[in-house]
Structure 1
Amino acid sequence: MKYKAARHIRWSLSLLTLALAQAAAAAEDVKDEEKTKEEKLSLASQVIKGDVLGHGSDEEVRTYAGSRSVVKSEDLKKASVRGLDDALQRVPGVKVFDETGTGVLPQISVRGLYESRSGRVQVLSDGIPLSLAPYGQTSLSLFPQTLQTVDRIDIVRGGAAVQYGPNNVGGVINFISKPIPKKWENNIGERLTFSPGGHQLYDTYLSTGGHLTDNFGLMLEYNNKSGHYDRDHSNTDVDNVRLRGQWDIDDVRSLSFGLQHYEADMELAGALSVKDYKHDWRDSTRDLDRFKGNTDRVWGTYTQFLGSHGPLEDMEFSLTGFAHDSDRNFIVGLDSKSQFTPDATPAYRQSAPRNFKVWGIEPKVSFSFYGDVVDQTWLVGGRYVSEDTQFDVNKTSLSTGATSVVRDWSFNTDGGAFFVSDAISLLDGRLTITPGVRHEHVEMNYSDAVSRKSTANTSDEWLPGINAGFQLTDHWFLFADAQRSLRVPQITSIVKDGDVGSEVAWNYEAGFRYTPLANLRFDFNLYRIDFDNQIEYNRTTDTYQNIGKTRHQGFETEMFWTPVEKLDLHVGYAYLDAEQRAGQYRGNEVPFSSKHQFNVDGRYRLNQDWTYALDGLFVSKAFTDTANTKDENAIASVGQLPSYWVWNTSLERRFRFSGDELTTSIGISNLFDNRYYFRGMDTSPWGRQSAPGRTVTVAANYRF
């Protein structure tokens, strides 16, 4: 029934797309054969002055006072890119534990800061938090974002903690949506991925959008993923429907808004015992494991230019609101001891449904002072977020059918934040120093209907920060920043009866961007993260533990070079030294942190229609426990993870006619079918979690 419903939605939206396209075409007397540059300009939401993220443009990145990278649109369009998390791996310092190759449940680590479901990085969509609960559950155990709806990805690893918090120790990742075009256009796209064993995964994309008037635009998108990835027991069905709008009310006011329904239903292949992995890594022995989730989301931002009043100039105001109602459930099989043994006959089926009702509001105001020597731009903002979370765990005996309630928790979280920053510009704008401070106050109240117990937890922290950027010459840009970051106690650690203290860290960076030629740029940064009370999950005992102080330090560097007009080259390297600084295992490496990561990719444009791309990724070994156990134990809950090299390649061909465009491509992911695995994947923490093998993707997109 689920797949029939998905097909019905797909064809209904196809008809709607064509109907809207005909209506838009009827409104235009003539359609030019080629769009001019002006016609290609999009309706984009306004960004208040002083916002550190902005639009993620190339110029903003070059002069940002911190380490920052952007995954561009052309990189996301490559047929060898299987998902958004896959695309992030080209960024130094970003490590992905890819368990499916679909991008539905991302596992993202930044600078060795890892927790299940990307729990230690602030993830946004057009500046709106994507996590189920921005304070109480920062992980992406429901990820309402799909590859074909994203235009580019902005990764800010440092310097954004004052304006974007909490949970920003690892930085901020902002998925930027495809722009609403000025001239009405439609897209019909399909990506078909083939895996050995007869598995296929379909990725269908439909969109229609553009301007209805000179200042009002709408865009409707539908993205569906269905089929199987390369493991057995991997049925997947994902629907993502979004309607976005941009209204430039007049010269001083604008409103951007969006509505979304997202639904995912997929089987999880899970981890394998060492014996089963060696026999057939594509097999699955966890026939009961499944994930289901859905969310309805709404958001909007109103921006107004307030003019100048007395000494205050260029005053701007913005008000952002967002809300969502989300459900997600992991269903897993447990053995007779209620454990996750991958090759044991299941005795119980456990389900863990959670419901999240979240809403938030974020006002901001900016204003400037202009002087003969010093210019200042102040940004003052706040945020209030309300989270209502229901968390159940139910266990059913497969032999008797009896069901017991393991957990029946209710969480009510109120989070309030206030921040102020001042961008002080000196030396004719070549030097900018931005001090700021953020205050977070979070109250969490939770109760257990089973034990009749209730508890309250309060976090109250001042989080200062400072950024400095200096345009030394036309070729050299220098930067440095320091900031204090926070993550409040998480629902999962509370439920697991583990340590529930707030995690606090100091982050430091210094680096440069050197552009000796128009076609050559070097980026380099040093960083250090001093972490207090870092909480880690113990896969063997199934609890969370406070491993105390940790230190993450290292450097990241990138080179962008276009030696000839048709060839673009990119090389990146990250070195990480992540060390436990307290407790029994002081001096050991932090679990899941790899010392070395190397990226290389190239793009060759044979002519204006043909493009060939090749990219490679190397990630070094990592331990999976605080003791740094090298050899796997009997249940494979600990043991060193192998290093791996992965190569991908793609070929693209574009056809243009009568103003329309057809883009076709073919890509191979994991070209040499390199075998490697992960461990500790959420509901399947024991055993070896197979990484995706070689797949072939063919894709086509018709824009008209």
Structure 2
Amino acid sequence: MAVVLSSTPLFILKTMDTTMTSSKKTSRRLSSGLALACLSSFGAAQETASGRGAISALPAVTVTGTLPDRLEAVPGSSAVVGARQLEAERPYSVREALQAVPGLHVVGEDAFGLNLNIGIRGLDPRRTSRTLLLEDGMPIHLAPYSDPTAHYHTPLERIERVEVIKGSGQIVHGPQTVGGVINFVTRPVRRSFGGEVDLSVGDRNFSRAAGAVGSGGDWGGWLAEAALRRGNGSRDGSFHRIRDASLKTEFDLGDKQSLRLKFGYYEEDSKFGEAGLDQARYDADPYQNAFRNDVFELERTAFQAVHSFDFSDTTRLATQVYYQKTDRASYRQLDAIVEADADGVEAEKEREGLRFDEVGTDGAGLVAGCPEDIDYTVPNGFEQFASLCGNQMRPRSYEFYGIEPRLEMQHGAFGLRSELVAGVRLHHEKVNRKRYNGATPTAREHSPGTGLRDEFDIETDAVAAYVQNTFYAGNWSFTPGVRYESYRQKNRITQDEFAPVTPGIETSQRNNELLPGFGLTYFGLADTTLFAGIHRGIAPPRPDANLPPGDADLQKVDPELSTNIELGMRHRPRQGVQLEATLFQIDFKNQILPGYAVGLGQTFANAGRTLNRGVEFGSRIDFGRLQGRPHNPYLTLSYTSLFTARFDSDLLTPDFAPGEDETTVFANARGKRLPYAPRHLLSAGLGYEHGSTWDARIGLTHVSEQYTDALNTQAPAADGQSGVIPSYTTLNASFNYRLKPQGVTLYLSATNLTDKRYLVSRVNGAFAGVPRQLYAGARFSF
């Protein structure tokens, strides 16, 4: 089993890399958690024969399933979804792989989980914008500072494990430190020739082909991977196709240096849109597809290099260089002229009545019959008007690069054994955002009648510095740390048909934030670790929304800040029993809200306060280990109770009458429950491992009732965009059978086993959860 570090301070761990030749087996010192693993995890945490590592002067650390057996000196809650768990569960997408992690609310809008929506401890899950996503320590949001949305995540085929950090140690990462850090760790390079081929097919036109091959020797190693995945989406007529390729190399440059390089290419071609259904159509058939011409396309290229230099056995400098370029475009059918982008009543009025022929390049207009608005209270039909009203186009380009040297050192300052991590990151990103209106449902940027609605260029320059030190004193560890973020954002307008703004106008602002953190751990009790932590979190403002050029009423919009506190315990009373419990609080201040909500004329403003409080539980019991037997029935359980998730400041919210899209009535949302913050999250699994030959598992996931707007509206709105989301429970199952002499693994998997119909989101309309998905496959190793 891999030695996986689910920790937040830096302490030194020694593992033996058994993939090297016998003459080159050497002990490697690795930093815990995401300290060094985030910089050099592709290749750093290799699987070991014994599955155990040794912490200097501390008991051993191993990982079994989702929770570590022993995690002394870890000041914060964390979780690891390891290779063993991923194989046992056979998740259909990353969404299923993460939904069992305590505190994580994963909302699925599409069958493949491509538009990843993760909310941690009650924070808004929309596009995972409050959570830092990393791949081998490299940020993978579209633009980490200016547009932290998740339209890409590491494909399952390349994932070795997933690390989740929610405690104070996340301040050494950034910029998003409000909710937590999720790091997708990819598989290490090979040190001898070998590989695998993985083929699977299923219902709903699903097919997948993945392969990996690599080799190496005394000099280092390499690994090449490729995957093609395709299948139907959640709605009738929707379809997804994913292509992914990666090349990873590692060079041992003598006894003290190493260099790791990784190149990646990813492409998504989906016949699927982001618009949901109105309530009448959802009630009639939640999987019907009114917008059959909707398309989403994405292309990503990425590069990462990590150079590591060991000054001594106790001091290492690891320098990371990274680059990512993403081009994404969405094409969305329209069914009316009005474009209601949920920017508030006034913003909607400004757009009302705008026809495409008013901005068209050749004067071509809509086909006669496109309505000014859709009356959702009667069944006048998307289908009736969708062919008459053209489309919206959203082509966008994102590019960023950076460099991050990080020093890790074991020392004895103040007479205490200590470990230090300190680093600096320079980061630059550029974003180009365009919006077009097309005259036909299949129009593209250069089609006749297409008009450029607006174009913006956004740039961000950021400098971050951090230092964190863990002191060990007897049975205690103390981990103080601080992060400094300084960034300047610019938003320049090229064209805007909806605002009388001279092209070339630019707005900019600089923010400087000091983010302290402190963790405390006590491991003096037998088989028990107690931990506590507090840290300041940050979510930078988005320039596209919060720095609009030409807004005469613009005032500075500061970043959103939070104070995160947690208190927890990890307990391992017997071999085969793992328990963890954490109390948490997120006091969110400075939240960015629409200006009208707080009585200001500008588009957005700082004024919001929210409070989240709850408790998380995680456990695994291996009954075979308890009895010392090779065959192992096991039980896993994770539960989150979010007993407080409320608005704590005055928030004026439009109160629409049924069937109306305009109002002069505002209600105060103070004290109301936060949208998309379910009170209860439950995941349970029951499995059986028959030695190493076969295993089977059945799992259950429950999500309680959720509100979808600030006023906690109960009744569904006619357009499907507000109203309660009822609670739902789904089942999944998996089976693996291994033919060891042949190097073959046969497997079966089922998601939403009972084919339950359930609602998961009302953003832009009602979205149904993924229907039942069955698939079978075989993996051939050589």
TMscore range, shorter length:
0.7 to 0.9
Alignment-derived partner of residue 76 in structure 1: 86
| Alpha-carbon distance in 1 for matches of 2:751, 2:399 | 38
Alignment-derived partner of residue 432 in structure 1: 477
| Alpha-carbon distance in 1 for matches of 2:27, 2:686 | 30
Give the aligned residue type for 2:489. Answer: M
Alignment-derived partner of residue 580 in structure 1: 647
Q: Residues 60 and 403 of structure 1: is their aligned pair in 2 closer, same or farther, counting only changes over 3 Å?
A: farther
**Contact residue 48 and residue 303 of structure 1 kept, 8 A:** no
| Alpha-carbon distance in 2 for matches of 1:484, 1:456 | 25
| Alpha-carbon distance in 2 for matches of 1:110, 1:42 | 40
Deviation at 1:232, TM superposition (A): 1.4
Matches within 5 A, 1:462-541: 462-494=514-546, 500-535=557-592
| TM-score using structure 2 length | 0.78
**Contact residue 144 and residue 240 of structure 1 kept, 8 A:** no
| Alpha-carbon distance in 1 for matches of 2:594, 2:752 | 30
Deviation at 1:133, TM superposition (A): 1.1
**Contact residue 491 and residue 544 of structure 2 kept, 8 A:** no
Alignment-derived partner of residue 558 in structure 1: 618
**Contact residue 556 and residue 574 of structure 1 kept, 8 A:** yes
**Contact residue 251 and residue 258 of structure 2 kept, 8 A:** yes
SS at match of 1:278: helix
Q: Is 1:337 matched up with 2:379? A: no
Q: Is 1:698 matched up with 2:756? A: no
Deviation at 1:503, TM superposition (A): 0.6
Alignment-derived partner of residue 402 in structure 1: 449
**Contact residue 369 and residue 375 of structure 1 kept, 8 A:** yes
**Contact residue 664 and residue 699 of structure 1 kept, 8 A:** yes
Give the aligned residue type for 2:114. Answer: V
Matches within 5 A, 1:564-603: 564-565=624-625, 566-576=632-642, 577-583=644-650, 584-603=668-687
Deviation at 1:131, TM superposition (A): 0.7
Q: Deviations over 1:149-174 (max 9, x none)?
A: 10111111122332011112110001
Give the aligned residue type for 2:467. Answer: V
| Alpha-carbon distance in 1 for matches of 2:709, 2:209 | 40
| Alpha-carbon distance in 2 for matches of 1:615, 1:536 | 39
Matches within 5 A, 1:305-316: 305-307=310-312, 314-316=314-316
Give % identity: 24
Give the aligned residue type for 2:647. Answer: Q
Alignment-derived partner of residue 456 in structure 1: 508
Alignment-derived partner of residue 264 in structure 1: 268
Deviation at 1:254, TM superposition (A): 1.3
Give the aligned residue type for 2:339. Answer: S
Alignment-derived partner of residue 412 in structure 1: 459
**Contact residue 299 and residue 328 of structure 2 kept, 8 A:** yes
SS at match of 1:117: helix
| TM-score using structure 1 length | 0.87
Q: Deviations over 1:351-373 (max 9, x none)?
A: 11111121011011122322695
Q: Deviations over 1:634-684 (max 9, x none)?
A: 212110111110111111111122xx4111111111111222112344xxx
| Alpha-carbon distance in 1 for matches of 2:69, 2:768 | 39
| Alpha-carbon distance in 2 for matches of 1:111, 1:602 | 25
Q: Deviations over 1:46-70 (max 9, x none)?
A: 7557954746863697232100111
Alignment-derived partner of residue 709 in structure 2: 625
Give the aligned residue type for 1:673. Answer: D
| Alpha-carbon distance in 2 for matches of 1:179, 1:188 | 17
Q: Residues 132 and 37 of structure 1: is their aligned pair in 2 closer, same or farther, counting only changes over 3 Å?
A: closer
Deviation at 1:252, TM superposition (A): 1.4
Alignment-derived partner of residue 220 in structure 1: 224
| Alpha-carbon distance in 1 for matches of 2:458, 2:418 | 42
Give the aligned residue type for 2:476. Answer: L
SS at match of 1:160: helix
Structure 2 portions without partners, runs of 5+: 1-16, 46-61, 342-373, 442-446, 496-500, 598-602, 626-631, 651-667
Q: Which moved more, 1:483-492 or 1:356-365?
A: 483-492
Deviation at 1:491, TM superposition (A): 4.0
Deviation at 1:181, TM superposition (A): 3.1
Give the structure with higher Rg (CA).
Answer: 2
Alignment-derived partner of residue 166 in structure 1: 175
Q: Residues 50 and 643 of structure 1: is their aligned pair in 2 closer, same or farther, counting only changes over 3 Å?
A: closer
SS at match of 2:84: helix
Q: Is 1:646 matched up with 2:750? A: no
Q: Deviations over 1:569-590 (max 9, x none)?
A: 1111101121110012111111
| Alpha-carbon distance in 1 for matches of 2:32, 2:759 | 45
Give the aligned residue type for 1:286. Answer: F
Alignment-derived partner of residue 21 in structure 1: none
Q: Is 1:327 matched up with 2:327? A: yes
| Alpha-carbon distance in 2 for matches of 1:291, 1:161 | 33
| Alpha-carbon distance in 2 for matches of 1:61, 1:533 | 38
Q: Residues 51 and 606 of structure 1: is their aligned pair in 2 closer, same or farther, counting only changes over 3 Å?
A: closer
Give the aligned residue type for 1:233. Answer: G
SS at match of 1:589: coil
**Contact residue 696 and residue 734 of structure 2 kept, 8 A:** yes
**Contact residue 69 and residue 572 of structure 2 kept, 8 A:** no
| Alpha-carbon distance in 1 for matches of 2:170, 2:590 | 19
**Contact residue 44 and residue 179 of structure 1 kept, 8 A:** no
Alignment-derived partner of residue 246 in structure 1: 250
SS at match of 2:623: strand
Q: Residues 640 and 537 of structure 1: is their aligned pair in 2 closer, same or farther, counting only changes over 3 Å?
A: farther
| Alpha-carbon distance in 2 for matches of 1:214, 1:37 | 11
Q: Which moved more, 1:321-330 or 1:173-182?
A: 173-182
**Contact residue 415 and residue 443 of structure 1 kept, 8 A:** yes
Q: Residues 606 and 477 of structure 1: is their aligned pair in 2 closer, same or farther, counting only changes over 3 Å?
A: same
Q: Deviations over 1:305-333 (max 9, x none)?
A: 1128xxxxx22111101001210111112
Matches within 5 A, 1:71-470: 71-78=81-88, 80-141=90-151, 143-194=152-203, 199-211=204-216, 213-268=217-272, 270-307=275-312, 314-334=314-334, 335-339=336-340, 343-344=381-382, 345-346=385-386, 347-370=389-412, 373-398=415-440, 401-427=448-474, 430-450=475-495, 451=501, 452=503, 453-470=505-522
Q: Deviations over 1:585-639 (max 9, x none)?
A: 1111111000101111122013431111111111101101111111111212110
**Contact residue 70 and residue 572 of structure 2 kept, 8 A:** no
Deviation at 1:179, TM superposition (A): 2.3
Deviation at 1:563, TM superposition (A): 1.5
| Alpha-carbon distance in 2 for matches of 1:573, 1:406 | 47
Q: Which moved more, 1:489-498 or 1:251-260?
A: 489-498
Q: Deviations over 1:413-436 (max 9, x none)?
A: 001101111211111xx3210111
Give the aligned residue type for 1:185. Answer: G
Q: Residues 561 and 366 of structure 1: is their aligned pair in 2 closer, same or farther, counting only changes over 3 Å?
A: same
| Alpha-carbon distance in 1 for matches of 2:414, 2:303 | 45
Q: Is 1:610 matched up with 2:667? A: no
Give the aligned residue type for 2:710. Answer: T
Give the aligned residue type for 1:627. Answer: L
